Structure 1
Amino acid sequence: MGMAGISIWQLLIIFAIIILLFGTKKLRNIGSDLGSAVKGFKKAVNDEQDSKSDSAEPKVEQLKQADQQQDKTKSKEKDQA
């Protein structure tokens, strides 16, 4: 393998250091936040494609509702932690 390549062992060492620094609980929360953000983004893109002729106000309401739902999810996760 060349000098620019990263081996599986190097990736495992980096992953182990990240786990030691942040802890598994925080990594799980970051992962779920990132997943919900990606899910919300995909939904917004799909909604925009489905309703290009609609006005902008219903989209704003949908985004507000999505943000509120994400806030509820985050507060539930914090309560469980």
Structure 2
Amino acid sequence: MGGLSWVHWVIVIGVAALLFGGGGKLSGLMGDAAKGIRAFRDGLKGEDEVTDKSAAATTTPLPRTEREKEEVRS
């Protein structure tokens, strides 16, 4: 106990090879994750603009027809 056997070293080397080997797979994966986060943030910014426009549209009264005007007067 306390020491690393050859099996442990093989596992550690195998995991390191999977993560860091093969032409920058990890950096490519992290770049893709960064692009996804950036797209998510841009999507959230777009939703704020849409909700602001829709909120402004709901606060303005709609034009009433003649029939609705008569109902309000009665």
TM (norm. structure 2) is: 0.43
The structure, 1 or 2, with the larger RCO (C-alpha pairs under 8 Å, 6+ apart) is: 1
The structure that has the greater radius of gyration is: 2
More helix by share: 1
